[in-house]
């Protein structure tokens, strides 16, 4: 007589938790530590993996970063306390090639990159995910605040229940194939306080550990210093020029400025407040102008990752909501595909400070589903 099928466990597999191997990407912070402890407590076959992404010897004293040596120690301690194996993988070369070098080159080209997205796309959800499969894992779990739901046509990506913690902007490039293998156990929680309460419940020493603030390889948020170190001579001085052609002052390098910046320009005393409206890298010029010059309604995109049920090019236009920066709420727009990976977005209301190098992420208007996104560029 055939045995009845095992009911689905909390990770969506028709077998007992003890027969389900899950690799947990552990950064050493409270979020991924709670995920690992929670799954171990539920009886899953948990394997913790921490990535060493750069030489953490110089970063041991650094606060507010996600990958320093102390974090590796914290992840290992959680694994020892909860009784599951933990491995540290040296991904320094991969991280430099896939993330840090592009970060530096993008800034040198006058763009404003988002390296955390590239890290998820090219390291965590690519190489680490393949490592998880090599370990015969059924899935990989992370501490990201985003939800994976099963829809009519497979796994869907949805915003976190707590929009204050939602990380969908940084995960838009997750492919359908990756989404099949990934799990996000914290996405449904109402708040970070709920995560910390779980950490305390599981007796984790990281329960009160502060959240990381900086990009992990940028100490104290000093982008320019990192780029100068990676690309000596990058801080070439030049003129600060008004959009009408007037030279207003000097700067110590285009890499120290971003589109939309107002503070720290060193050109005070004028009747109108000025903002960075363009970066002329070739001529080492920072172009400033009135706020009105920042308003944009047309956004060219490339390297699009599409997560909709139909192909991107199945329609000439898609009504969506979009985010053009991680800190901004979604705004209504029309997405017009040009190919499978390129498109133009028309914003129904103009946005200020839309910058090449940032991501534009698509959402179902009025809903929580993430439909993908692309990278903003200058167009042809």
pLDDT digits (tens, 9 = 90+) for 195-241: 999 999 999 999 999 987 778 888 778 888 889 888 988 889 999 99
pTM of the model: 0.91
CA distance 99 to 114: 9
CA distance 286 to 261: 11
Residue whose structure tokens are 């194996």: 85
Residue 374 has pLDDT above 70, yes or no: yes
Coil, strand or helix at 368: coil
Residue 65 has pLDDT above 50, yes or no: no
> Is 27 among the annotated ligand-binding positions?
yes
Over residues 185-203, mean pLDDT: 97
> Is 25 among the annotated ligand-binding positions?
yes
**CB of 143 within 8 A of CB of 29?**
yes
Q: Which residue has the higher pLDDT, 69 or 291?
A: 291
Rg (CA), the chain: 22
Confidence band of 379 (pLDDT split at 50, 70, 90): low
DSSP state of 380: -
> Is 173 among the annotated ligand-binding positions?
no
Confidence band of 165 (pLDDT split at 50, 70, 90): very high
> Is 30 among the annotated ligand-binding positions?
yes
The residues pairing with 146 across neighbouring beta strands, listed in sequence order, are: 159
Mean pLDDT of the chain: 91
pLDDT score for 224: 87
pLDDT digits (tens, 9 = 90+) for 98-122: 999 999 999 888 888 999 999 999 9
Over residues 62-81, mean pLDDT: 77
> Is 31 among the annotated ligand-binding positions?
yes
Residue whose structure tokens are 């179902």: 364
> Is 34 among the annotated ligand-binding positions?
no
Residue 66 has pLDDT above 90, yes or no: no
CA distance 243 to 273: 13
- The active-site residue, picked from 67, 159, 216, 360, is 216
**CB of 336 within 8 A of CB of 313?**
no
pLDDT score for 55: 64
Confidence band of 38 (pLDDT split at 50, 70, 90): very high
Coil, strand or helix at 315: coil
Residue 160 CB neighbour total at 10 angstroms: 21
Cα dihedral: 170, 173, 176, 180 (round 10): -40
Range with the lowest mean pLDDT among 127-136, 267-276, 319-328? 267-276
pLDDT score for 4: 57
CA distance 93 to 220: 23
Residue 20, classified by CB atoms within 10 Å of its CB into exposed (0-12), middle (13-18) or buried (19+), is: buried
Secondary element (H or E) of residue 94: helix 92-95
CA distance 158 to 144: 12
Over residues 174-201, mean pLDDT: 97
Residue 200 CB neighbour total at 10 angstroms: 13
Q: Could you confirm whether 66 is annotated as catalytic?
A: no
> Is 143 among the annotated ligand-binding positions?
yes
pLDDT score for 56: 44
Q: Could you confirm whether 159 is annotated as catalytic?
A: no
pLDDT score for 46: 98
Over residues 311-337, mean pLDDT: 96
Residue 63 has pLDDT above 50, yes or no: no
CA distance 5 to 12: 13
- The active-site residue, picked from 67, 119, 159, 360, is 119
pLDDT digits (tens, 9 = 90+) for 241-298: 999 999 999 999 999 998 999 988 888 767 789 999 999 999 999 999 999 999 999 9
């Amino acid at each position: 007589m055939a045995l009845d099928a095992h009911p689905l466990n909390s990770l969506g597999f028709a077998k007992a938790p003890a027969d389900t191997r899950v690799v947990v990407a552990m950064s050493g912070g409270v979020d991924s530590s709670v995920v690992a402890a929670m799954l171990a407590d539920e009886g899953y076959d948990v394997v913790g993996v921490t990535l060493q992404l750069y030489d953490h010897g110089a970063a041991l004293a650094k606060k507010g970063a996600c990958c320093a040596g102390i974090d590796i120690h914290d992840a290992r301690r959680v694994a020892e306390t909860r009784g599951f194996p933990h491995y540290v993988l040296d991904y320094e070369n991969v991280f430099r090639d896939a993330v840090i070098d592009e970060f530096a080159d993008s800034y040198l080209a006058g763009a404003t990159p988002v390296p955390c997205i590239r890290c998820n796309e090219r390291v965590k959800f690519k190489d680490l995910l393949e490592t998880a499969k090599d370990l015969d894992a059924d899935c990989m779990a992370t501490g990201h605040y985003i939800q994976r739901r099963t829809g009519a046509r497979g796994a869907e990506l949805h915003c976190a229940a707590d929009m204050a913690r939602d990380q969908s902007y940084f995960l838009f490039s997750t492919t359908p194939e990756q989404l099949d293998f990934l799990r996000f156990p914290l996405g449904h929680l109402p708040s970070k306080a709920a995560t910390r309460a779980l950490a305390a419940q599981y007796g984790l020493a990281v329960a009160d550990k502060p959240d990381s603030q900086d990009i992990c390889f940028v100490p104290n948020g000093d982008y320019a210093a990192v780029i100068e170190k990676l690309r000596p001579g990058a801080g070439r001085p030049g003129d600060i020029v008004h959009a009408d052609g007037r030279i207003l002052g000097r700067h110590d390098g285009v890499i120290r400025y971003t589109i939309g910046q107002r503070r720290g320009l060193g050109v005070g005393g004028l009747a109108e407040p000025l903002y960075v409206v363009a970066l002329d890298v070739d001529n080492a010029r920072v172009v400033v102008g009135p706020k009105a010059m920042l308003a944009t309604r047309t956004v060219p995109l490339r390297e699009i990752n599409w997560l909709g049920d139909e192909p991107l090019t199945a329609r000439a236009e898609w009504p969506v909501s979009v985010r053009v920066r991680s800190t901004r709420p979604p705004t209504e727009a029309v997405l017009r595909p040009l190919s499978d990976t390129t498109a133009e977005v028309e914003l129904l209301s103009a946005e200020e400070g839309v910058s090449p190098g940032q991501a534009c992420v698509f959402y179902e208007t009025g809903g929580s589903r993430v439909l993908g996104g692309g990278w903003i560029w200058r167009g042809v």
